[in-house]
Chain A
Amino acid sequence: MALTVDVVVERPDFRFAIATSFAPGITCVLGPSGAGKSTLLGAISGLLRPTRGRVALGDEVWVDTARGLHVAIEARHAAYLFQSLALFPHLSALHNVAYAVPRTVPRAERHARAQALLAKLGVGHLAHRRPRTYSGGEAQRVALARALAMTPRVMLLDEPFSALDRERKRPLIALVRALATELAIPTIAVTHSLGEARALADRVIRMDHGQVVADGAPAELLARAGHDDDLVDAAG
Chain B
Amino acid sequence: MDWDPLLLSLEAALIATLVAGVVGVTLGALLARPRMPGRHLLDALIAAPMVMPPTVLGYYVLVTVGRKSAIGGLYRDLFGSDLTFTFHAVVLAASIGALPMIAKAARTAFEGVDPTLPRAARTLGAGRVRAFFTVTLPLAAPGVIGGLMLGFARGLGDFGVTLMVAGDIPGETQSAPLAIYDHVQAKREHAAAMSSLVLTIGAVVILYAVNRLTRDRHREDEARWH
A binds B: yes
1/0 per residue B94-121: CB within 8 Å of A?
0000000000000000000010110111
A99 to B124, CA, bound (A): 7
Given contacts A78-B123, A99-B134, 14 further A-B contacts (CB under 8 A): A47-B123, A73-B122, A80-B120, A82-B116, A84-B114, A86-B116, A86-B117, A89-B220, A90-B139, A99-B124, A102-B125, A132-B223, A136-B225, A139-B225
Q: Which chain A positions have C-beta within 8 A of B120?
A: 80, 82, 86, 88
Is the CB of A72 closer than 8 A to any CB of chain B? yes
Inter-chain CA distance A118–B2, complex, in Å, is 61
Report which B residues bind A (CB closer than 8 A).
114, 116-117, 119-127, 134-135, 138-139, 220, 223-226
Give chain A residues whose Cβ lies under 8 Å from the Cβ of B134.
99
With A84-B114, A84-B116, A99-B134 already in contact, the answer to whether A89 and B123 are too (CB < 8 A) is no
Choose among A47, A76, A77 the residue that contacts B119 (Cβ–Cβ < 8 A). A47
- Residues of A near any B CB (own CB < 8 A): 45-47, 72-74, 76-80, 82, 84-86, 88-90, 99-100, 102-103, 131-136, 139, 146, 149-150, 163
A133 CA to B138 CA in the complex, in Å? 19
Q: Is the pair B223, A74 in contact by a Cβ cutoff of 8 Å?
A: no
A88-B138 Cα distance, complex, nearest whole Å: 10
How far apart sit A133 and B223, CA to CA, in the bound complex (Å)? 9
User: How many contacting A-B pairs (Cβ < 8 A)?
Assistant: 72
**What's the Cα separation between A85 and B224 when bound, in Å?**
12
Q: How far is the CA of A150 from the CA of B114 in the complex (A)?
A: 22
State whether B117 touches A74 (Cβ < 8 A). no
B119 touches A86 (CB 8 A): yes
Q: Which residues of B contact A45 (CB under 8 A)?
A: 123
Cβ-neighbour of B126 out of A82, A99, A131, A134 (below 8 A): A99
- Cα of A108 to Cα of B184 in the assembled complex, Å: 63
Q: List 16 A-B contacts (CB under 8 A).
A: A46-B123, A47-B119, A73-B122, A74-B124, A74-B126, A77-B125, A79-B123, A79-B124, A86-B117, A89-B224, A99-B121, A99-B134, A100-B124, A103-B125, A131-B225, A132-B225
Nearest chain B CB to A221 CB, angstrom units: 29
Closest-CB distance, A161 to chain B (whole angstroms): 14
